[in-house]
Structures are given as structure tokens and as C-alpha cells.
A = this chain, B = another copy of it.
Amino acid sequence: MPVNLVAPDPASLLPVAGVRLGIASAGIKKPGRRDITLIELAAGSRVAGVFTRNRFCAAPVTVCKQHLGHVDQNDGDIRALVINTGNANAGTGEEGLARARRTCEAVAALFGGKAENVLPFSTGVILEPLPIDKILPALPAAQADLAPDHWHDAAHAIMTTDIVAKGASRQIQLGGKTVAVTGIAKGSGMIHPNMATMLGFVATDAAIAPALMQRMVKEVADVSFNCVTVDGDTSTNDSFILIATGQAGNAEIADANGADYAVLKTALGEVAIQLAQAMARDGEGATKFMTIAVEGGRDRAECKQIAYAIARSPLVKTAFFASDPNLGRILAAIGYAGVIDLDVNALKVWLGDVLVAENGGRAASYTEAQGAAVMKEAEITVRVALDRGEACATVWTCDFSYDYVKINAEYRT
């Protein structure tokens, strides 16, 4: 059973002025399943995104990048996002691009805009043609469903193998104005940074200068979605989109070193971290939620390298599934992480609050009973202190169970 899997309270997801969401059922994979989500943005909204680095990036990712580029060329704002589940439109060649664009055109026609004002997103099976014959007829119903308080429905409609919907909100004050931040995300398998079968959408009604949007989305992704792994696989479709509608009435944030930028970044980061952690908790087959915190490194990169080596190791993950405090597997993962001149005699490892390793081996004070007690918990932190600098990094993941194999052996059937 997954751990501490709690769907967001629908009432906790705050509306964001300038954003409306509508859901419909196109029957892409299963008849009657709500698989189309439309997000409508008010004029003047700013949008920025970070996308998968997979060379086999999906058609909608290519189209998103093109349309976000058009914004800079004064082709108009992004006015709508359209998301389908059940089909990833990846590995579909020129025809896939044409179908993604055709979907944008159909959405634009509903709004009276151009295809370039629409961003498309797809998630699901790879290599199958996108069934636009099902998608296009469903779009008017999604439009008719548009409402500011449909965040929770949208969080449900973008799910694939997710067990629970993922959403989070914060409310902050910027220059005396109340600002909302709300986000939703999907993704549980094929999750790894840079970024994996995950879709994340975080919107705020704060006003922020267009020039700062790309920086903000990258900075937020780096502390959230790029810190989570389920199986190390990176998908063809991952996208994280930041929306700022500017309707809160705050003075436009134009200085990346100012207090308002920091306050907004913190709120966006909290929402994105909550969504990213929810993905690890909902990792395919997960029974445990693991936080890997590495500190005392020379730079963030080497801390992340070690954290990911632990978080990705199938041997570590199966040991956690078995509630087995198999320290050797953690130490081995630290050792092969690829930090060339690492002094293994100088580092310390804690399992929960228990010091388990130091001086190149098991800590003298450590007892197996202590380790076993920590391993019984549903949420476990592994902390590694490298003692060679000031940098740190944290990565979230889950354990590796029979059900991971089962889910992924049966996914297409």
C-alpha cells in the first residue's frame, strides 16, 4: 500500500484570478473517462516552461516550445492550455506534430485566437497516433465546463497511473495585495529529473515581468520537480509550466534580487515541492517515502550526484521495501556515485536520527535494532554528511516493490 497518500482537500485549492479550468471526456483510452482538460488564461498572462531533455521529445513538447517562442515575437499571449491523457503523442513523427497543431487550432477556434496562443500537453502510451477524431469533438464540452474552482477536477483529469490527485495552494501578500498560488501535477512512474512523465502546472495571479518568468520557472523546478525520482527513467513528455496572470494588482515584480521576487519564489517553490513529493509518495508500487539529504559537499552538483545514486539504486530501494537496514547498499551507492576524490572515511550517514556509519564503516554506537526501528516507519530520511564543504541537496524517492514490477509489466494490457 502506498504511504500517506492523501488527495488534496478540494476546498484547499484556491482559485487564481484569470484562470478557469474545464474538463471533458473524449474516450481516448477508456469510454467515459475524463481525459481532456482545458485551462483558459486571461489576456496579459505570462507563461514560461521547462521541458524534458529526452531527445525523443514528444510532439506537444516541440509545439509548446515553438508557441512559447512566438510569444516573444509579439504573436500574442498564451491564452489556453489543452491536456489529454491516454496518449502521449510521442514517437509519432511529422503526423504527430500536425495533430498537436490541429488540436491547438481547434482550441483557438473556440476562443477566437490563433493556434500559437495555445499550448498542448499529452501523457499516456507512446508511439500510438493521437486520436484527434476523439479529442476535437470533446473540446466544446471542456469549454462549457470552464470555471475558476475546477482545479481539483483538473488534478483528477490529468492522472494516468497516479493513485491520488496532486494539488497544492498558498496565499501570500505582495505589496499589500493578496496573491494566490495554485498548482496541480501528475506522474508516478518514469519519473526522474529533467523531467519524467510528469506534467506540472503552477499558476499565480501575481504580476511579474516577462523577462523574469523563465528564470523563475527554472529556479522553482530545480528545487522541486528536478529533485524527485521514482525509477530513473526520463520521459518524452515532461513539462512544468508557470503561469502568472497579473490580476492580483501587485506592482509588477521586475527585480530578481528584490524581496517580492523572493516571497513569490518561496510560495511557488512550496507548492511545487509539495507536488513533487506527492509524485514520489505516489511512485508506482511505493510503500515508503524516502528523503535523501546530502550535506557538507563542495557544490550542489556533487551532493545531488550522491543523493541520486542512493535514490536510484534498485538494491537500496528493495532493502527499504523489505524494511531491512542494509547499510552496505547505501554505502556502496555513495561509493559508486562518481565523486572521484571522495574520502569515505570522513563521511557520516544517518538513518532517521540514528548515526549508522562513520570512519569508513559501521558506527561503533550503532545497533541493528536501532536501524530496524527506523525502517519500520513509512517516511524515512537518509542523511549523508560529506564534511568537505557547505553545499547540500535533497532528493525524494520511494521504495521498489513487487507492485512496481506488476504495474509496469501490465501497463499496456
**Given the interface contacts A236-B332, A331-B126, A335-B56, does A408 sit within 8 Å of B91 by beta carbon?**
no
Interface string of A373-413 (1 = CB under 8 A from B): 00000000000000000000000000011101110111111
Let me know if A352 is at the binding interface, CB within 8 A: no
Indicate which residue in B91, B314, B401 contacts A362 across the interface (CB closer than 8 Å). Answer: B91
Q: B405 to A321, Cβ gap below 8 A?
A: yes
Q: How far is the CB of A176 from chain B (nearest CB, A)?
A: 46
Q: How far is B285's CA from A120's CA once the two chains are assembled, in angstroms? A: 41
Q: How far is the CB of A147 from chain B (nearest CB, A)?
A: 35
Q: B332 to A233, Cβ gap below 8 A?
A: yes
Q: How far is the CB of A117 from chain B (nearest CB, A)?
A: 27
Let me know if A339 is at the binding interface, CB within 8 A: yes
Closest to A359 in B: B93
A319 to chain B: which residues have CB within 8 Å?
Answer: 408-409
**Given the interface contacts A315-B408, A319-B408, A336-B55, does A91 sit within 8 Å of B360 by beta carbon?**
yes
The interface on chain A, measured as residues whose beta carbon lies within 8 A of the other chain's beta carbons, has a size of: 66
Q: A235 to B88, Cβ gap below 8 A?
A: no
Q: How far is the CB of A120 from chain B (nearest CB, A)?
A: 17
Q: B327 to A91, Cβ gap below 8 A?
A: yes
Q: A361 to B96, Cβ gap below 8 A?
A: yes
Q: How far is B84's CA from A264's CA once the two chains are assembled, in angstroms? A: 59
Q: How far is B375's CA from A19's CA once the two chains are assembled, in angstroms? A: 47
Interface string of A153-182 (1 = CB under 8 A from B): 000000000000000000000000000000
